[in-house]
Chain A
Amino acid sequence: MNPELSQDLSLLHLVINASLPVQIVMALLLGASLMSWWFIFIKLFALKRAMRATNRFEREFWAGGDINAMYQRVTNEREEAGEMAHVFEAGLREFMKLRRQTGLSAHAIIDGTRRAMRATCQRELDGLESHLSFLATVGSVSPYVGLFGTVWGIMIAFMGLASVAQATLAQVAPGIAEALIATAMGLFAAIPAVVGYNRFTHDIDRLSSRMESFMEEFSNILQRQATKTA
């Protein structure tokens, strides 16, 4: 009597038999999910490395020692040195250049140095923050996209129901099941994206504040140097 009842409700079957808009929504969500996981892993690697490099640099810097030797070391292995080392390098390079010019007050020298350091810091943070907005977008939008697919699928299922004389649950069940898969996919894409976004912004905030304080402390050291020689 009801062939739908004995139908196989396997997952693949449901996806293949879904109506076109629902299928498009599912494909969209699958793509979003893939991309967001890709970015999550990229960010995970990048931030882990940045944290490690920053820890190492801070340890070396505050262990005392010759600033010039440190500068040499940082410039030699620039690719591995990390964000804070780049800030340090930019600051020290600007400081040396400005000091060579005569007629500049210590105040002006330190100001220039700080500007150089701030610019480098901003650039590094920008590199770290790339792709994060994608995660935020996926996290906030994909549930709605999935919901749209679900609503559409349920609409189709009920329209089909209107055309039969005797309405039974078995006639709408497959339609609703396939429609709900869209919501599930939306949530599957959104949850890791939101978690990743929150975690990465937190990590970047911490890195940024550490760099900020390093810049202040390093400026103080350079200022002492400048007033001593001036």
Chain B
Amino acid sequence: MSFPADAPFVSRPVPTFAAGLLALGVHALFALLLVFGVSWQTQQPAPVMVDLWDAFPAPPQPAAEIPPAPPEPVKVQPAPRPAATEPAPVKTPDIALEKKQAEAELKAKQIAEDKARAEAREKQLAEQKKREQLRQAEEADLMRRMADEEAANAAKLTRLAEARAAASRRQAAVASVVGEYQDLISAKVRGNTRIPASLVGNPEVRCRVRLLPTGEVQSVQVTRSSGNPAYDDAVVRAIEKSSPLPLPAESDARAEFVPELLFVHRAKD
């Protein structure tokens, strides 16, 4: 007995290389997305002071609309005299009747012409009057609109002034709260400061203090030294020891302290 020599079933191989390239492509895409899409921000944005206004300041006054020049009443040329020239005197006819007849005809023609001219003038007058009325109405409308605008602007200005006054009042209130808390913080820090023996005079130390919203001290940096490193260190330690610092409850006043506080410290005050 022998084994059958049947061909095994083989399918065409799958394009593995292309699959590998696609896999790499997916990862490259994801990496790009991660690198450029996610901003790994580490710097806290600088505190921003925002003034709240009830209304926007008045926009630059739009150049007063130049009223479209009222259409000049077009002077209608008086209707050209129809057939200005008098019919040339006909050769004196021989017969008087003919002459008379012709005269009568001429007269009738003249009367008709006069009538037509009068009618045309009347029509023209009426048109002019109508146009005049229209122009007057337009002018009145424009005046009314301008007055309205002026009134609105005045109202806006008063509102603005009120808002400004309110803001300044608020700022004054905030400033007083800020001063109070500055005193509080200074007192607390001063209580924790151990003035080194080597200190002479009353030097000033300026520090930049980063605070968490809870008042906890995140970091302290000396921006201007007193010239005495031992005293600088003592102040930094005192600030760290004073954590958490007292902070006002209102967010406006708090913005002066969080996230960064410029702190000026004097040994004796």
Contacts and interface: CB of A to CB of B under 8 A. Distances in A.
Nearest to A169: B218
B20 interface: yes
Q: Is the interface of A mostly helix, strand, loop or mixed?
A: helix
Interface in A51-93: 78-80, 82-83, 86, 89-90, 93
Interface stretch (B22-30, B67-75, B164-172): B22-30
Given A1-B221, A10-B40, A38-B16, 17 more contacts: A1-B219, A5-B210, A5-B218, A11-B38, A11-B40, A30-B27, A34-B27, A38-B23, A39-B19, A41-B20, A79-B10, A80-B12, A82-B11, A120-B9, A168-B219, A169-B218, A188-B30
B70 to A, nearest CB: 70
A170 interface: yes
A107 interface: no
A166 interface: yes
The 10 residue pairs across chains A and B that have the minimum distance between CB atoms? A41-B19, A37-B23, A86-B9, A38-B23, A1-B219, A79-B12, A42-B19, A46-B14, A41-B22, A9-B40
Contact of B219 (A9, A90, A127, A170): A170
A30 B220 CA distance: 41
B42 A6 contact: yes
B7 interface: yes
A41 B218 contact: no
Nearest to A46: B14
Interface of B: 6-7, 9-12, 14-16, 18-20, 22-24, 26-27, 30, 34-35, 38, 40, 42-43, 210, 218-221, 236, 240
B42 A11 contact: no
Contact of A37 (B16, B22, B38): B22
B49 to A, nearest CB: 24
A93 B34 CA distance: 57
B114 to A, nearest CB: 101
A12 B32 CA distance: 12
Contacts of A90: 9
A166 B236 CA distance: 13
14 contacts: A1-B220, A2-B219, A5-B210, A6-B42, A9-B42, A11-B34, A11-B38, A33-B27, A37-B23, A42-B14, A42-B16, A45-B18, A86-B9, A170-B219
Contact of B19 (A10, A30, A45, A166): A45
A5 B259 CA distance: 14
B25 to A, nearest CB: 9
Interface in A83-128: 83, 86, 89-90, 93, 120, 123-124, 127
A110 B40 CA distance: 69
A8 B42 contact: yes
Nearest to A7: B42
A40 interface: yes
Contacts of B14: 42, 45-46, 49
Interface in A1-55: 1-2, 5-12, 30, 33-34, 37-42, 44-46, 49
A169 to B, nearest CB: 7
Contact of A78 (B10, B24, B34, B218): B10
A196 to B, nearest CB: 11
A33 B25 CA distance: 12
Contacts of B43: 6
